[in-house]
Amino acid sequence: MSRDTTPPPVPPPLDGEVFDSHCHLDIMVGERQASTADPAGTAAQATGVTVQDILGAARSVGVTRLVTIGYDLRSSRWNAATARDVEGVYAGVAVHPNEAHHATPETLDEIERLAREPHVRAVGETGLDYYRDWSPKQAQHASFRAHIEIAKRTGKALVIHDRDAHEDVLKVLADQGAPDVVVFHSFSGDADYAGRCVKEGYHLSFSGPVTYKNATALREAVQVTPPELMLVETDAPYLPPVPHRGRPNAPYLIPLTLRLLAELKSLTEAELAATISANGERVFGAW
């Protein structure tokens, strides 16, 4: 069965403004035809889509800023350059755990150099991924610890990719000493794990899977997460929210996820958008 690669329709605008805390603009514009999460390139967008197109669609629904996240040195360079050049775009730079075997001292030195740029607001995505075995665990742990230190030296938020590695992620953070600001990107744990993260003051960023029918545990995690520790993201072009599973995701679909989060927290969408926007300035700095 062929995959539907047509863009989903634009949802009604939000009653308020918010930002997308995690997306991959380089993949959406076709700069990269594959990534660590998508080796076949099935999520790459049609050629001709520009960053300004993506920003325009996002702003039309109240998503005013984007944080575009690196996963290897090439993507980190591209994201940092785009954040320098395009108003409303900010960057994260890192080597993804699936690419940890490429996290050489020279590469990590350049990641740190990029992290010091003013429009780079995060070190990430880094962390641990036990779902795939593309990098040995030893390499992943070494890379994760190195990124933690980069985040501490540069004063930038640490954005964590945690897939099937919950206990070890918390252990590394405790052993190494966490930076001042930690974000769990596309949070995938249950209520107990969310509670443990919240106790440490970590921010949890929720994405499209929270809308999926089988995501009961994830919605329970939302229930125990205080609004002041919540972020919302797309991880675009991955993880589109219901009813668009299987189609390309984009920042303009944030309203579908935020509306469900607001319902779960018994808040209006305007209230939650305002809280998340304030969280964003504490996490990523003044826009």
The answer to whether 170 and 147 have CB atoms below 8 angstroms apart is no
| Length reported for the chain | 287
Q: Identify any residues that bridge with 66 across adjacent strands, giving them in sequence order.
A: 20, 89
Q: How far apart are CA 231 and CA 36, in angstroms?
A: 23
Is 125 annotated as belonging to a binding site? yes
Q: How far apart are CA 236 and CA 44, in angstroms?
A: 10
Is 244 annotated as belonging to a binding site? no
The answer to whether 284 and 26 have CB atoms below 8 angstroms apart is no
Distance, CA of 190 to chain centre: 18
Is 87 annotated as belonging to a binding site? no
3-class DSSP state of 93: strand
Residues 6 or more apart whose CB falls under 8 angstroms from that of 175 comprise none
Is 161 annotated as belonging to a binding site? yes
Is 22 annotated as belonging to a binding site? yes
Instruction: Tell me the two tokens of residue 151.
Output: 């985040």
Q: Which residues are annotated as a binding site for a divalent metal cation?
A: 22, 24, 125, 161, 185, 235
Q: Which residues are annotated as a binding site?
A: 22, 24, 125, 161, 185, 235
